[in-house]
């Protein structure tokens, strides 16, 4: 019997536990470790931060949904991992494992800039449930005493979609309240241009996003580095400053401390390097999915930024890892597979929305992709709402990616995984950042 441990119960960890349980006979144990009692559908947190939806709508109690599927649930915090001994240290116990899937999600690098973040700083964030609630509380107070708004992303950030969502949703909300004309909104981003999204080469996204911001009188400051933040004032690296009454700035990400402290496990930022199989290049028992996985920058940028890892990419990683672990254990036969990593992002802007698609996320050596485009329409907002409900139901009942979801993605020309070539498993697919 093998014990497969999944660390983290978010958008990568919970689906990984379900997929592993689906693929592995019950003679093999699947254990899910979470330091949070609830699963949260993170893509909906901008709605929470602006008071447009309640948090309980996008959360599930893990204790009610996980054990009934034959998965051991441990509610505890990991304090250390030893990939050589195949051992995980928790606050209250130590676990041995045969395989571990690291799906922790990120740690927020709020110390990257003085004054960044809601705790000990002067800006808001919508990167986790606690911060989204703090952002909502601050937004409620702001509406009683409004002033300039600054929204954006700090140098080193890798997830830009929520910043655009927040800025455009804030515009829409204020317009509905009849307050927008009195409140200036500025969008500040380390991206080389608005709409880059950490991806680049997104065809019309540069012009579409800039036009949408301009149509809503949202000032754009791209290729701009924030240097530090003080109460009600944001200072930029070029010497300019911006007054604000409310600011939501997405921080850089890094891997959690217990990963960074494990010798040889991560890069300097705490991200897990992987082979095309999403196995660690030096530790055969370690796999990684989601935001904590290392991906190389698509292209150099004047201000360093990271690469986004959206939900669709994470689900591809999950399928890949579960298949390859099942192959290692002799449960299935065939060849290892690797994800093709298409980035699909739905962004709601209130009165419209935008769909971003990059296939694949990482272009080939000539900089080419099969397709890359951005489109807009109110249907995107409806689609995001519908997908949230679908994904929550899927996590509630313990589905892996069902046949109709896989078939639907293939029907629009998005193969989810592909077999490895004979020698591709010998090379690290994503060099250290």
Among all residues, which ones are annotated catalytic? 159, 345
Structure tokens given for 110: 């709020």
Give Cα separations from 3 to 58, 82, 327, 346, 402 (angstroms): 30, 16, 15, 36, 25
Using CB atoms within 10 Å of the CB of residue 6, give its burial: 0 to 12 exposed, 13 to 18 middle, 19+ buried.
buried
Looking up tokens 């891997």 gives 255
Structure tokens given for 302: 């004047």
**Cβ-based neighbour number of residue 254 at 10 Å:** 23
Beta strand spans in 62-130 (E) = 72-75, 78-82, 87-90, 94-96, 99-102, 107-108
- State the pairing for strand pair 99-102/3-7: parallel
**Cβ-based neighbour number of residue 118 at 10 Å:** 19
Structure tokens given for 28: 């093999």
306 vs 383: CA distance, rounded Å? 27
The answer to whether the CB of 163 falls within 8 A of the CB of 189 is: yes
Structure tokens given for 144: 């009683």
Structure tokens given for 419: 């077999």
Structure tokens given for 286: 């370690």
> Dihedral sign, CA of 8, 13, 19, 23?
negative
26 vs 24: CA distance, rounded Å? 6
């Amino acid at each position: 019997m093998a014990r497969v441990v999944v660390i983290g119960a978010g958008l990568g960890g919970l689906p990984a536990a379900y997929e592993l349980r689906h693929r592995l006979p019950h003679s093999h144990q699947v254990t899910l470790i979470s330091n949070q009692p609830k699963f949260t559908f993170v893509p909906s947190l901008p709605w929470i931060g602006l008071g447009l939806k309640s948090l309980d709508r996008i959360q599930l109690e893990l204790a009610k949904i996980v054990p009934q599927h034959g998965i051991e649930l441990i509610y505890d915090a990991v304090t250390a991992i030893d990939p050589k001994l195949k051992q995980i240290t928790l606050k209250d116990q130590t676990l041995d494992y045969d395989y571990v899937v690291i799906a922790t999600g990120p740690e927020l690098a709020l110390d990257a800039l003085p004054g960044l973040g809601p705790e000990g700083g002067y800006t808001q964030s919508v990167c986790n449930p606690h911060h989204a609630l703090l952002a909502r509380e601050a937004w409620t107070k702001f509406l009683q005493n409004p002033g300039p708004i600054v929204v954006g992303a700090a140098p080193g950030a890798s997830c830009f979609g929520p910043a655009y969502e927040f800025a455009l949703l804030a515009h829409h909300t204020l317009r509905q309240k009849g307050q927008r004309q009195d409140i200036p909104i500025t969008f500040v981003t380390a991206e080389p241009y608005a709409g880059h999204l950490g991806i680049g080469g997104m065809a019309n996204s540069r012009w579409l996003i800039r036009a949408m911001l301009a149509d809503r009188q949202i000032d754009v400051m791209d290729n701009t580095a924030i240097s530090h933040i003080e109460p009600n004032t944001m200072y930029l690296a070029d010497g300019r400053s911006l007054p604000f009454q409310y600011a939501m700035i997405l921080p850089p990400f890094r891997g959690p401390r217990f990963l960074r402290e494990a010798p040889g496990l991560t890069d300097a930022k705490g991200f897990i390097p992987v082979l095309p199989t999403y196995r660690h290049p030096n530790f055969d028992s370690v796999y990684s999915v989601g935001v904590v996985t290392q991906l190389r920058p698509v292209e150099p940028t004047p201000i360093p930024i990271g690469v986004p890892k959206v939900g669709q990419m994470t689900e591809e990683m999950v399928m890949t890892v579960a298949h390859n672990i099942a192959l290692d254990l002799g449960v299935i036969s065939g060849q290892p597979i690797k994800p093709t990593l298409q980035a699909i992002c739905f962004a709601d802007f209130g009165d419209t929305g935008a769909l971003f698609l990059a296939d694949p996320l990482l272009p080939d050596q000539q900089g080419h992709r099969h397709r890359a485009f951005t489109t807009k329409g109110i249907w995107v907002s409806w689609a995001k709402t519908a997908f949230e409900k679908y994904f929550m139901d899927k996590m509630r009942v313990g589905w892996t990616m069902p046949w109709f979801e896989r078939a639907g993605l293939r029907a629009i020309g998005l193969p989810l995984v592909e077999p490895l070539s004979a020698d591709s498993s010998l090379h690290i697919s994503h060099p250290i950042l």
